[in-house]
Chain A
Amino acid sequence: MDIARHWRLRRQRYALVGEQCGHCREYIFPPRDICPHCGEEAGPVHAMCGRGEVYSFTVVHEPPTGYETQAPYAVALVKLAEGPLVTAQLTDVDAADIKIGMPVEMVTRRLRTDGAEGVIQYGYKFRPHLAVS
């Protein structure tokens, strides 16, 4: 597990911190050097609101190393309210209840652990909108 890489990316992973292009005003996630929309220099920093919808998804039954204990789990392409598409796990939901277009919100969860003694990586996942009264 690459501790240094995760540490560098912690703000985007913990809280969906991306950018809003100062030239074309488009939102960018993950953050980049060059804006993919207009080709100018990207930035400044902008935290996404965390709301979005399921664009597409698949259920993982044969997980890669580090994720074994969580399978089966769903991985989705989530279209953020600001526009960018993000790949992330869905959580707090049964696979049978997931639908394209389902509104979801970002939560910070355990992504993976490096065994029982290694570091715990935290990052964004998405869950169905919490129903509020």
Chain B
Amino acid sequence: MTNFTGNEKPISPAAPVMRPARGVGIAGYGAYVPRYRLPGKEISRVWTEGNTPPTVAEKSVPGLDEDVITMAVEAARNALDRAGTDPSGIGAVWVGSESHPYAVKPSSSVVAEAIGASPNLLAADWEFACKAGSEAMQAAVGMVGSGMIRYALAIGMDTAQGRPGDALEYTAGAGGGAFLIGPAEDALAVIEASYSYATDTPDFWRRDHAQYPSHAQRFTGEPAYFKHVTRAARTLLAGTGASPADFRYAVFHQPNPKFPQRAAELLGFTREQIQAGLLAPQIGNTYAGSALIGLTAVLDQAAPGDRILVVSFGSGAGSDAFQLTVTEKLLERRPRAPRTADYISRRKEIDYGVYARYRGKLKM
């Protein structure tokens, strides 16, 4: 990490930043975090006699009756409440996750039915490790921006699992966000430009039928997370002509608290700019939900005119980057649904035994 600057290759002037044919933005947003919290020190107690300093203070844990579908439904309802849109006018419901309850049978069709959006729509599940949700956002911008549909709902949600005792168990949390993407004239934040960057990088994976993911240890840092996040951010900024100082807020994917802080540093963003969207210390890494729920927390306190940078990261590997500007509509829509902080402050601490039961780690 020490020698890496993210500046190794110059970005060509014709950088392929994406802009829709018609203006597009976020018409409504919503978050969800389950109620239960497992402190990092509890994992350390069970596996290392308390000798491993926890990466995060605590992580969120879903209840026995929760999964990506139920959590996506609640976040989606919050997004619709804020937008005030008739759900039957939504042309796409897309759920990005790496913990869909079914291997075959879409989460999205259940979510669409539950929110009253069925049946005139595209419904699909997206996969790309932790950037499955932001990938759905990119596609939503495309379909809304082309005029094919008026609204698309893009959701990033996960109930991440870490192998017991593994480093990832300390951070693997649950939660996410939902964004109703619509025309710019109905947006609480306009998506001015976006960019996606992807390469074949084997930093983290889970094989079919495997319960827990595997990772390439230190390989997850420089060639994976930092390279993709910084390249995506720098290419987007080069394309829009913006500099870090033009942004009030920035959100980077948060596999732990340190990576996004380091990414901000490499790109020239301050601690203050990333503070509002940095939720990993309180809920852990929500995988496909991570960058998206960070953005919900930023929108919970942003003001009209504020500019926001969002950069996701998905192992395997890729990043999606978005440049947004908040509009006046945010002020009237924000109070129509619970804020992300309301979910985070609703917390019941559990011990490792209850966690093992809730997460299906006990063989009966």
In the complex, identify which listed stretch (A10-18, A32-40, A54-62) lies at the interface while the others stay far away. A10-18
Contact B69 A92 (CB under 8 A): no
| Residue A46, interface by CB 8 Å | no
Closest Cβ–Cβ distance, residue B27 to chain A (whole Å): 21
Closest Cβ–Cβ distance, residue B277 to chain A (whole Å): 18
In the complex, identify which listed stretch (B107-115, B125-133, B221-229, B280-288) lies at the interface while the others stay far away. B107-115
Closest 8 CB pairs of A and B: A14-B114, A109-B65, A110-B65, A108-B73, A132-B342, A132-B338, A92-B35, A109-B70
Contact partner of A110 (CB less than 8 A), chosen from B67, B338, B341, is B67
Knowing A14-B114, A15-B115 touch, does A108 contact B70 (C-beta < 8 A)?
A: yes
Contact A133 B116 (CB under 8 A): no
Chain B residue contacts of A89, Cβ below 8 A: 65
Contact A131 B116 (CB under 8 A): no
**Would you mind naming 22 contact pairs between A and B with Cβ atoms under 8 Å apart?**
A14-B73, A15-B115, A15-B116, A91-B63, A91-B65, A92-B35, A94-B348, A107-B70, A108-B70, A109-B65, A109-B66, A109-B70, A110-B67, A120-B67, A122-B70, A122-B110, A130-B338, A130-B342, A130-B343, A131-B345, A132-B339, A133-B341
**CB-CB nearest in chain B for A68:** B364
Closest Cβ–Cβ distance, residue A73 to chain B (whole Å): 9
Knowing A108-B73, A120-B102 touch, does A131 contact B342 (C-beta < 8 A)?
A: yes
Contact partner of B116 (CB less than 8 A), chosen from A47, A109, A111, A132, is A47
| Residue A65, interface by CB 8 Å | no
Chain A residue contacts of B345, Cβ below 8 A: 131, 133
Q: Known pairs A133-B339, A133-B342. 15 more at Cβ < 8 A?
A: A14-B113, A15-B114, A15-B115, A94-B348, A108-B70, A108-B114, A109-B66, A110-B66, A110-B70, A111-B65, A120-B102, A122-B70, A130-B338, A130-B346, A133-B345
| Residue B101, interface by CB 8 Å | yes
- For the complex, what is the distance from the CA of A120 to the CA of B106, rounded to whole Å? 12
| Residue B64, interface by CB 8 Å | yes
Residues in chain A within 8 A of chain B (CB atoms): 10-11, 14-15, 47, 69-70, 89, 91-92, 94, 107-111, 120, 122, 125, 130-133
Contact partner of B69 (CB less than 8 A), chosen from A47, A107, A122, A133, is A122
Chain B residue contacts of A120, Cβ below 8 A: 67, 69, 101-102
B105-145 residues at the A interface, CB under 8 angstroms: 110, 113-116
Instruction: Please tell me the number of chain B residues within 8 Å of chain A, measured between CB atoms.
Output: 25
Chain B residue contacts of A47, Cβ below 8 A: 116
Closest Cβ–Cβ distance, residue A89 to chain B (whole Å): 8
- For the complex, what is the distance from the CA of A77 to the CA of B345, rounded to whole Å? 28
Closest Cβ–Cβ distance, residue B352 to chain A (whole Å): 18
- For the complex, what is the distance from the CA of A110 to the CA of B114, rounded to whole Å? 13
- For the complex, what is the distance from the CA of A6 to the CA of B148, rounded to whole Å? 33
| Residue B42, interface by CB 8 Å | no
**CB-CB nearest in chain B for A128:** B346
Chain A residue contacts of B343, Cβ below 8 A: 130
Closest Cβ–Cβ distance, residue B101 to chain A (whole Å): 6
Contact B339 A70 (CB under 8 A): no
| Residue B74, interface by CB 8 Å | yes
- For the complex, what is the distance from the CA of A95 to the CA of B321, rounded to whole Å? 45
Chain B residue contacts of A111, Cβ below 8 A: 65
Chain A residue contacts of B102, Cβ below 8 A: 120
Contact A125 B65 (CB under 8 A): yes
- For the complex, what is the distance from the CA of A94 to the CA of B63, rounded to whole Å? 12
Chain A residue contacts of B115, Cβ below 8 A: 15
Closest Cβ–Cβ distance, residue A121 to chain B (whole Å): 10
Chain B residue contacts of A92, Cβ below 8 A: 35, 63
- For the complex, what is the distance from the CA of A92 to the CA of B339, rounded to whole Å? 18
